[in-house]
Structure 1
Amino acid sequence: MLLLLLLQVLASCLWLGRSEVVTSFESSCPQFFFRETPPNEALEPESPAWICQHYQNQYFFATLYDRKRRIPVYSAYVYQPASGKRPKTWMVEPQLIGPTYPKSMEREYTLLKYSKVSLEEISNSQAILQDYKNLTGLNRGHLNPSSHHSNTTSRTATFTLTNIVPQNEKLNGGAWNNYEQQMMITRTKGCNTTYVVVGAVPGNSYIAKGRVNIPSHIWSGVCCEVDTNHRKAWAVIAENDKNEVQVLTLGELENELTQLYGRDQVSLFDSSCPR
């Protein structure tokens, strides 16, 4: 009997270690953060979920998700841009429903067919495709953009609704797109490894009958390792109702986010990244 109990405990621990919705990024997918240091607790929502975004047997980025507002707080990744086709598949996160569901992101259709789960059960824990239909002036805005990844698999992994916010369509296709496609290329010249954290400040409005929050701001902080002894950093922020992007120092962004969130001082990267 004791042996059976020990085996059950061991199996439980192994399952938890494999889980995609995790208890901390430091112990599960720290590789997406500069010096394995995630942003501090000042950004954490009331109902957080730490997601090591898993697809086809690999982790590709990390997302702190707000279960209540059904948007990501931030997504963190290593910048590795390459040309390629834009994926068309949209997925959701099974383990936001519960720990017994698959750890890899899946299409809604696949979950409904093979995991014996209802659309209502999925929608209780996260945004679904229906939430983003028939939008006016808004579209699905990636925090972690597919174009910042090197191959088809890694680009497809960004097409999960846990990496998406309702974003002003002019901003998404205009100034923010210019930041993602042009400014990042220019700014990262000379960088060996570039760590990025992109986030969304919750706003006061919602889509989908109050289910999904519309952020007031979209922001991005970057820490670049030039070599062992040299680093550089920069940041941007945009109001989500204007087609404008403001360029800041990392320290300026952290101070502005501290004011916007109204909690403790925000820290996005390890202290050795220049402010």
Structure 2
Amino acid sequence: MILLPLLTCVLLGALSAQAKVVDTFAECDKFFYKGKEPAGMDQNAKKICQKLNNRYHYATLYSTHHRIPVYSAYLFDRDKQHAGNSRTSVWFIEPQISIKNSDDWMTLETLYKRTDIKVSQALSSDYSKTGYDRGHLNPNCYQCDEGREATFTLTNAAPMNPRFNRVRWYQWEKGVKDFLKANTVSTVYLVTGTVPHSNKRIPQREESRVTVPTHIWTAVCYVDPYDKDKSFSFGYIGRNVADTSITMMPVANLNSQLAQLYQPSGTEQAGLYIFNQYFKYNMPQVLFIFANLLCNTY
């Protein structure tokens, strides 16, 4: 008899987690610097305003072809970094991606037919016993409470090599987080994305469905509201393999590298950018700061 109330609570919690598939990001453009989304990426991907309990927490561009996100755009909420940090074990899916006119909220896979959902998005079973992590793009460790819960959707996850995800990429996430926590006046816009492999999929017992990214990248735009000279932007990128190095660079260089990586032929894709404007200076200072921070994460 105890199980029924418990199950009801779980389902109610899931149904309160909303993620709306939209035509434009107008409803959640606050997660993009100056309200402008990245350009020159997958034009056929679905736009999702990730919402929980009537509050938007981040934005995601999701590829139904690859069944992984192209990117998630989010803010760093330093005010809540000392709040409750419990990690959920429940992962959600997004019904509207697979079923037109369905619920516009995240929900549990078990509430829909698996055959309907799997057409356009990943399921937890795609990752089971494959040797790949469900790697967050919007890191759960950057968010707290409802914001953290909202990151646990498969529309915010991509297959990552476990050592890359838990060691290499984690070291950079932690280094950036430590820096952002120490600076209290800025607004920080972040975009984390994937470079889908042209033909590599998660090994499956049935058809291979979920693309494994070749690279994972992040771009950061740090805006000081009082002194423009203290604002800066940078990016970093790494190959999604066990033994790799993460490379830090100006956003302009990351734009150029992604433009080439997104084209299998090697020709650069014109018009690609992450931020429509960004700060080009202060790179030496940024490199110095992060060199010290990253040393403390190893």
Q: Which residue of 1 aligns with 2:190?
A: 196
TM-score of the pair, normalised by structure 2: 0.78
Aligned to 1:124, the other structure's residue is in SS state coil
Q: Which residue of 2 aligns with 1:54?
A: 51
Q: Residue by residue, what CA displacement relative to the aligned partner does 1:212-246 show, whole Å, maximum 9, x if unpaired?
A: 00000000000011125522111110001134211
Q: Which residue of 1 aligns with 2:96?
A: 95
Q: Matches of 1:184 and 1:252 in 2, distance apart? A: 22
Q: How many residues are paired up?
A: 247
The 8 Å contact of residues 188 and 194 in structure 1, kept in 2 or not, is answered as no
Q: Which runs of 5+ in 1 are unaligned?
A: 1-17, 113-117
Q: Runs of 4 or more off by more than 6 Å in structure 1?
A: none
Taking the TM superposition and a 5 Å limit, the aligned residue runs for 1:133-172 are: 133-136=128-131, 138-149=132-143, 151-172=144-165
Q: Which runs of 5+ in 2 are unaligned?
A: 1-17, 264-268, 282-298
Q: Which residue of 2 aligns with 1:215?
A: 213
Aligned to 1:21, the other structure's residue is in SS state strand
1:187 Cα deviation from its structure 2 partner: 5.8
Q: Matches of 1:86 and 1:181 in 2, distance apart? A: 17
What amino acid does structure 2 have at the position aligned with 1:261?
Answer: Y
Taking the TM superposition and a 5 Å limit, the aligned residue runs for 1:59-78 are: 59-78=56-75
Q: Aligned match of 2:117 in 104, 109, 122?
A: 122
Aligned to 2:224, the other structure's residue is in SS state strand
Q: Matches of 1:187 and 1:55 in 2, distance apart? A: 24
Q: Residue by residue, what CA displacement relative to the aligned partner does 1:147-182 show, whole Å, maximum 9, x if unpaired?
A: 111x31110100000000000110101110011112
The 8 Å contact of residues 170 and 243 in structure 1, kept in 2 or not, is answered as no
Q: Is residue 250 of structure 2 the alignment partner of residue 249 of structure 1?
A: yes
What amino acid does structure 1 have at the position aligned with 2:215?
Answer: H
Q: Matches of 2:270 and 2:135 in 1, distance apart? A: 27
Q: Which residue of 2 aligns with 1:28?
A: 27
Q: Residue by residue, what CA displacement relative to the aligned partner does 1:9-49 show, whole Å, maximum 9, x if unpaired?
A: xxxxxxxxx98111111x22101101101101x1115x310
Q: Matches of 1:158 and 1:187 in 2, distance apart? A: 19
Q: Matches of 1:57 and 1:227 in 2, distance apart? A: 28
What amino acid does structure 1 have at the position aligned with 2:117?
Answer: I
1:59 Cα deviation from its structure 2 partner: 1.3
1:119 Cα deviation from its structure 2 partner: 0.8
Q: Matches of 2:279 and 2:31 in 1, distance apart? A: 15
The 8 Å contact of residues 134 and 159 in structure 2, kept in 1 or not, is answered as yes
CA RMSD of aligned residues (A): 1.9
Q: Matches of 2:41 and 2:279 in 1, distance apart? A: 19
Identify the range of structure 1 (69-78 vs 258-267) with the bigger mean alpha-carbon deviation: 258-267
In 2 relative to 1, CA 273–104 (structure 1 residues): closer, same or farther, beyond 3 Å? farther
Aligned to 1:85, the other structure's residue is in SS state coil
What amino acid does structure 2 have at the position aligned with 1:30?
Answer: D
In 2 relative to 1, CA 19–172 (structure 1 residues): closer, same or farther, beyond 3 Å? closer
TM-score of the pair, normalised by structure 1: 0.84
The 8 Å contact of residues 254 and 265 in structure 1, kept in 2 or not, is answered as no
The 8 Å contact of residues 192 and 218 in structure 2, kept in 1 or not, is answered as yes
Q: Is residue 179 of structure 2 the alignment partner of residue 186 of structure 1?
A: yes
The 8 Å contact of residues 206 and 213 in structure 1, kept in 2 or not, is answered as yes
The 8 Å contact of residues 70 and 213 in structure 1, kept in 2 or not, is answered as yes
1:97 Cα deviation from its structure 2 partner: 2.1
Q: Matches of 2:216 and 2:171 in 1, distance apart? A: 14
1:87 Cα deviation from its structure 2 partner: 1.7
Q: Matches of 2:27 and 2:237 in 1, distance apart? A: 29
Identity across matched positions, percent? 33
1:247 Cα deviation from its structure 2 partner: 1.1
Q: Residue by residue, what CA displacement relative to the aligned partner does 1:51-70 show, whole Å, maximum 9, x if unpaired?
A: 00122222111000000110
Q: Matches of 1:195 and 1:239 in 2, distance apart? A: 23
The 8 Å contact of residues 19 and 99 in structure 1, kept in 2 or not, is answered as no
